[in-house]
């Protein structure tokens, strides 16, 4: 029979072993908890830092849709809504596109004249594929500025000023030019100028311009400028480069009306 001294020693040893095991378990739970807390803290910090960076870049959370925006992320010329009784032109452009500038110089005044006369309606959808991988390159920043100009009733004027001052392809528009010089040339002044510049600084139309760019990609438009009426693409020249649409109101309206009828007189809004 074991004596009392041996039993006491074994009991004390078991008790010590149990205490050591509990201590180890507690430490594992503690460090696991610390790890979870650390992950939560990292996630929270990432969100806060991301928001701070966004704010530092001037991108407001209060995004604005231009007052004359369409469901297809274009902006209506003259604010005139499409009607079933007349052709509706959808024009895809990129502000850095040299061909877009050339077409604007030849056909832009014609389109504006026909819109003013009530013979057709038109919207401009802006792409920015010439920015390449840049998230806020010159084309998109020009689109952001033009959309902000619509907020103060100067979309058409600003749009025309941007093309009139288009630099060599790849050079781009400096933000100061888009923010200050072009705005003033477009006739934006006083409180409207302050509103425009605030919207530009905060990139208040960033979401709208992204949606327009996404629309360009999802519709697989492929190139700019592209003129569509009822989903039918206007052809300005044949394979031999013979001009099919002259830069006159009569010729353009004839082509737009023909496309409108071929496309079933649909309004691509």
pLDDT tens by residue, 6-29: 545 555 556 666 666 665 555 554
Q: Are residues 117 and 26 in the same domain?
A: no
7 domain-assigned: no
> 79: which DSSP letter?
G
Summarised one tens digit per residue, pLDDT across range 49-80 is 333 433 445 699 999 999 999 999 999 999 99
Average pLDDT over residues 239-251: 97
Average pLDDT over residues 220-232: 96
DSSP 173-229: --HHIIIIIHHHHTT--HHHHHHHHHHHHHTTTHHHHHHHHHHHHHTT--SSSEEEE
Q: How many other β-carbons are positioned within 10 Å of the β-carbon of residue 111?
A: 23
Q: 63 near 204, Cβ under 8 Å?
A: yes
Band of pLDDT at residue 233, cut at 50, 70 and 90: very high
Report the C-alpha gap between 40 and 46 in whole angstroms: 10
Q: Are residues 26 and 137 in the same domain?
A: no
Structure tokens at 141: 């920043």
Q: Which of 45-59, 157-171, 186-200 has the lowest mean pLDDT?
A: 45-59
Q: Are residues 50 and 125 in the same domain?
A: no
Q: Are residues 96 and 25 in the same domain?
A: no
How many structural domains compose the chain? 2
Query: Considering the entire predicted model, what is its pTM?
Result: 0.77
Burial code of 198-214, b = ≥16 C-beta within 10 A, e = fewer? Answer: ebbebbbbbebbbbbbe
Q: Which domain holds residue 133?
A: 75-262
What are residue 235's phi and psi, to 5 degrees?
-105, 115
Q: Are residues 29 and 133 in the same domain?
A: no
Q: Are residues 102 and 159 in the same domain?
A: yes
Q: Are residues 80 and 39 in the same domain?
A: no
**pLDDT higher for 3 or 62?**
62
């Amino acid at each position: 029979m074991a004596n009392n001294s041996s039993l006491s020693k074994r009991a004390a040893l078991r008790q010590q072993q149990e205490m050591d095991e509990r201590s180890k378990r507690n430490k594992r739970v503690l460090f696991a908890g610390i790890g979870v807390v650390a992950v939560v803290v990292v996630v929270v910090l990432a969100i806060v830092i991301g928001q701070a960076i966004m704010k530092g870049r001037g991108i407001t959370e209060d995004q604005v849709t231009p007052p004359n925006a369409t469901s297809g992320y274009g902006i209506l010329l003259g604010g005139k809504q499409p009607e079933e009784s007349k052709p509706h032109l959808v024009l895809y452009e990129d502000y850095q596109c040299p061909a877009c500038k050339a077409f604007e110089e030849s056909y832009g005044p014609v389109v504006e004249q026909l819109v003013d006369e009530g013979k057709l309606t038109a919207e401009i959808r802006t792409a920015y594929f010439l920015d390449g991988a840049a998230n806020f390159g010159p084309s998109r920043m020009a689109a952001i500025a033009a959309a902000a100009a619509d907020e103060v009733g100067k979309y058409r004027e600003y749009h025309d000023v941007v093309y009139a001052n288009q630099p060599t392809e790849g050079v781009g528009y400096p933000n100061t030019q888009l923010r200050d010089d072009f705005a003033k040339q477009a006739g934006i002044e006083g409180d409207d100028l302050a509103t425009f510049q605030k919207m530009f600084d905060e990139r208040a139309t960033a979401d709208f311009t992204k949606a327009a760019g996404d629309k360009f990609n999802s519709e697989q438009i492929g190139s700019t400028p592209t003129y569509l009426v009822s989903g039918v693409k206007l052809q300005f020249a044949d394979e031999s480069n013979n001009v099919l649409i002259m830069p006159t109101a009569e010729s353009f309206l004839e082509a737009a009306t023909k496309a409108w009828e071929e496309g079933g007189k649909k309004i691509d809004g």
